[in-house]
Amino acid sequence: MTTTAPPERATGAPGAGDAYTAAQAAQDAGAAHGTRTLRVWRGAGGTGAFTEFTTDVVEGMVVLDAIHQIQAEQANDLAVRWNCKAGKCGSCSAEINGKPKLMCMTRLDELPTDAPITVEPMRAFPHVRDLVSDVSWNFRVKPQIRRFTPRPPDAPDGTWRMRQADVDRVQEFRQCIECFLCQDVCHVLRDHHKHETFAGPRYFVHAAALEMHPLDTADRIPELRQAQGIGYCNITKCCTSVCPEHIAITDNAIIPLKERVVDRFYDPVGRLVQLFRRKSPAH
């Protein structure tokens, strides 16, 4: 079994922080060897079952490391999608112990040691094979959102002037790595299967990034209300809670967009609260 990582492991160079002792180095070198068991979903096209694998672990390993080790040593054909292994590409999304997470950013020592770790594909999308889901629907949604349309340049050399504060607001949304975990957890997609009429949190973040872009001039509000179905969202904040980039999806993207829809289509102000309540999933 893995031991838990020591908190704030000290590795300072002398004179540059806490001293790293030989004892700690020896402890590190010798520590944390053991095995763990993973229950991995295997199968194709929606049918499948969990298979248990036991594999050696060392300190610092993440779920993706364990999957790769199983793949290399026990099941060469175990299907898993991944690229960067550094939390930057958003490819290795899965459901780990029932929670949508990136496999490359989930350390084994964060997970309870008294039971096997379950690893399943994202369940809101069609299953391909083993840990891989068919996420192609997401790639069909984006082109439906009106493209970036800048105002004329501010300077004669064709460039623009923007304030850092205005850029910061949008840069939060542009941290999105398109892992689709927010789409996976959103009940409108996961439980109600509204893929044809609802763009999902990822694309509300994308739309918000465009709408709040200091240079953009296009109007996406009517489409957000109709084709992209923003009204189906009833602000459960599940998307925000699973975002590995810690984007405040609901508070900073979806709610401001909903307010713009409401301002545009549901004046006078007195009807706001009522309408807000009526916009439930049954809508």
Residues 194-213 that bind other proteins (CB under 8 A): 206, 210, 213
Q: Does 163 bind other proteins (CB under 8 A)?
A: yes
Instruction: Give the one residue of 3, 113, 148, 264 binding other proteins; rule: CB under 8 A.
Output: 148
Q: Does 222 bind other proteins (CB under 8 A)?
A: no
Could you say which residues in the range 16-35 bind other proteins, by CB under 8 A? 16-18, 20, 24-25, 28
Of the candidates 165, 148, 267, the residue with the CA atom closest to the CA atom of residue 208: 148
Could you say which residues in the range 225-244 bind other proteins, by CB under 8 A? none
Task: Return the number of the residue (177 or 224) whose C-beta is nearest other proteins.
Answer: 177
Residue span binding other proteins (CB under 8 A) among the ranges 153-161, 230-238, 255-263, 266-274: 153-161
Question: What is the closest distance, in whole angstroms, from the C-beta atom of residue 127 to other proteins in the complex?
Answer: 11
Residue span binding other proteins (CB under 8 A) among the ranges 151-159, 194-202, 227-235, 255-263: 151-159
CA count, 13 A, side-chain hemisphere, 117: 30
Task: Return the number of the residue (77 or 196) whose C-beta is nearest other proteins.
Answer: 77
Could you say which residues in the range 167-186 bind other proteins, by CB under 8 A? 167, 170-171, 174-178
Could you say which residues in the range 74-133 bind other proteins, by CB under 8 A? 76-91, 105, 107, 128-130, 132
Interface characters, 54-73, with other proteins (x: CB under 8 A) = ----xxxxx--x-----xxx
φ, ψ for residue 12, nearest 5 deg: -70, 145
Q: Does 152 bind other proteins (CB under 8 A)?
A: no
Question: What is the closest distance, in whole angstroms, from the C-beta atom of residue 178 to other proteins in the complex?
Answer: 6
Question: What is the closest distance, in whole angstroms, from the C-beta atom of residue 47 to other proteins in the complex?
Answer: 13
Question: What is the closest distance, in whole angstroms, from the C-beta atom of residue 51 to other proteins in the complex?
Answer: 13
Dist CA 259 CA 244 (whole Å):
26
